[in-house]
Amino acid sequence: MFLQIWLLPFALLATATVIAFPLSRYMAWIMDGKYRPLPVMGWFEKRLDSGPQNWKQYIGSLLLFNTVLFVFGYLVLALQPYLPLNPDGKTMLFPSTIFNSVISFMTNTNLQHYSGDQHLSNFSQIFFAIANMFLSAAIGLCALVAIIRALRSDASLGNFFLDMWRVLIYMFVPAALVFALIFLWQGSPMTFKTSHQVSTLEAGAMGTTDKGEAKQQTIVVGPVAALESIKMLGTNGGGFYGMNSAHPFENPTGLSNFFNTLAMMIFPFALVIMYGRMLGRMRHAYVIFIVMLALMAATVVWSVYFDTLKPNPGLTTHAGRTFEIAGAKSSEPKKPLTYPAVAGLPVDQHLGNLEGKEMRFGTSAGATFDALTTDVTCGAVNAEEDSINPMASLAPMAGMWINSIFGGKGVGMINMLLYVIIGIFIAGMMVGRTPEYLGKKIEAREIKLAAVALLVHPFMILAPVALFAVTHWGVDAVSNPGAHGFSQILYQFSSASANNGSAFDGLGVTYGFYNNPNPAPSAIAFDIATGLVMLFSRFLPIIAPVAMAAYLGAKKTNPAGLGTLRDDDVTFGLFLIGTILIIGALLFLPAAALGPIAEHFGPFPFGG
């Protein structure tokens, strides 16, 4: 039993750590331009390289590139009914959902207020979803490399367009090809066909026509294996199917589940070591890596432990008792509810909470995936997040709040750098010495930029959560009353701001096609609010740290002395953990108390 639950998380953390070392060496080699390209590649790279850039030019190129991505993505989705590879005649999404989806994929979030298999044509899946998955994933990595060059006082931050090319062609394309072949081997479809019509074993299982004939089932297919590989490798997370990695075509077997989970971990793991290699500060990178690994292990253990409680408290506590609960909507009267409705059923849940789990993978695979997908800001899911035990849901939420437990490609390490700077600043103030990082003095401007970048994230979560929790936008969207409903709203904005993309799917946020007669009542409000949150939480915390690194790198390097705070020992590691927990996590404690913690300890449905 112990092995059944804990072997998978341990194997994943160990394998990703082992792969991180050679992969980081390769990535540093590529990004430092030490490779010799093939003649045709070299010719192209020379033309792509528009010259060395300072931080403003680099960020300007990054923003311009993303603006083009926005326009292109918007056009693809708006023109979907008129574009090819759409034999099912899928029409246009409602414009607010197009706005949300384009920003979502452009910012590497992949929060989906639509269902891929129902709402997107294969053209949109390929030229909107898959294309953005490659490009948006590369952008964060480029920003990190620019910061590294600034911190080591290079003459320039490099060239954004050349960096994009290097990440895409030498890292993502080969890695995605390997993983796509694995998923293809395991059974994922890879075809330009859009669907199959099949007769169900049980005649009429899909209903009957007006003439009384049994309806056929439509099974949607497409370039699933290709999408799946970059979805995970790029920590994108947007599924071809609405069910994401719980769908048997996206994630057919236990082995594909292992590779699915591993794929989202390898680049974020390797980037931390790459940071050390490119800076020439390996011990410093090891300390950061160990801090991140410890926090990740903690979130996985927390998630798995609380989701495998035996007996499952959701089925045993208060069995048969009747509660009076408020309606899901403010206008509805209170109603009695016997909870839990399934208590006393002969359900063997010796592995813990099985609601919303894909049984092919087992309980711990769902809880493990939940924690990892939020730690590395992937957002793919192989189990229903809305169904995990309340206390277990605190782990994925904490992963998104801290946003640097490896985090997304590049941006996770950038966020950790902010904690490092703030931590060193606090330590410097405590001993009355001007704080230094890599021998450069941290002064008011650097701290202001780091603080602004760090505060964007909690502001972008807590302000809209408060607004939606007290207005009909939020109240009309939640599918559960009380603490769990609050958790649904909290999770939605946490996911948007962390550029994660997973969701408590009970929340009603789907408008669907523009001519849908019955959209979710708050769909437009959620589309616009989460769209803006994703965009600002993506770019502001990239811009400010790049500026900070540029200003820091321009200073002269002071040799380390007796009073210098070491950044490569155990003390620093513990200090860093403390900084992250106090600044990163405690900001969200009141919100956590109103959501998952209240649900766990409160009278409904747990506790008592």
User: In the complex, which residues of this chain contact other proteins (CB under 8 A)?
Assistant: 56, 59-60, 63, 66-67, 70-71, 74, 78, 94-96, 98-99, 102-103, 445, 448-449, 452, 514, 528, 531-532, 535-536, 539-540, 543-544, 547
Three-class secondary structure of residue 64 per DSSP: helix
In this complex, which beta carbon is closest to other proteins, that of residue 224 or of residue 548? 548
Question: Smallest Cα–Cα separation from 530: which of 568, 500, 565?
Answer: 500
In this complex, which beta carbon is closest to other proteins, that of residue 99 or of residue 123? 99
Q: At closest approach, how far in Å is the CB of 381 from other proteins?
A: 27
Q: At closest approach, how far in Å is the CB of 461 from other proteins?
A: 18
In this complex, which beta carbon is closest to other proteins, that of residue 12 or of residue 549? 549
For residue 340, is the peptide bond before it cis, meaning its omega torsion is within 30 degrees of 0?
Answer: yes
In this complex, which beta carbon is closest to other proteins, that of residue 512 or of residue 595? 512
Q: At closest approach, how far in Å is the CB of 66 from other proteins?
A: 7
Three-class secondary structure of residue 122 per DSSP: helix
Q: At closest approach, how far in Å is the CB of 113 from other proteins?
A: 13
Q: At closest approach, how far in Å is the CB of 69 from other proteins?
A: 10
Three-class secondary structure of residue 118 per DSSP: helix
In this complex, which beta carbon is closest to other proteins, that of residue 106 or of residue 293? 106
For residue 311, is the peptide bond before it cis, meaning its omega torsion is within 30 degrees of 0?
Answer: yes
Residues in the chain: 608
CA distance 427 to 568: 14
CA distance 215 to 343: 36
Q: At closest approach, how far in Å is the CB of 536 from other proteins?
A: 7
Residues 6+ apart with CB under 8 A from 310: 349, 350, 352
In this complex, which beta carbon is closest to other proteins, that of residue 141 or of residue 544? 544
For residue 87, is the peptide bond before it cis, meaning its omega torsion is within 30 degrees of 0?
Answer: no
Question: Smallest Cα–Cα separation from 11: which of 182, 259, 228?
Answer: 259
Three-class secondary structure of residue 337 per DSSP: strand
Phi and psi, residue 33, nearest 5°: 70, 30
Q: How many CB atoms lie within 10 A of CB 545?
A: 28
In this complex, which beta carbon is closest to other proteins, that of residue 190 or of residue 452? 452
Q: At closest approach, how far in Å is the CB of 534 from other proteins?
A: 10
Three-class secondary structure of residue 600 per DSSP: helix
Q: Are 553 and 150 in contact (CB under 8 A)?
A: yes
Task: Identify the bridge partners of residue 323 per DSSP, sorted by sequence position.
Answer: 337
In this complex, which beta carbon is closest to other proteins, that of residue 72 or of residue 323? 72
Q: Are 295 and 577 in contact (CB under 8 A)?
A: yes
Q: Are 150 and 55 in contact (CB under 8 A)?
A: yes
Q: At closest approach, how far in Å is the CB of 583 from other proteins?
A: 20
In this complex, which beta carbon is closest to other proteins, that of residue 91 or of residue 316? 91
Q: Are 291 and 161 in contact (CB under 8 A)?
A: no
Q: At closest approach, how far in Å is the CB of 532 from other proteins?
A: 6
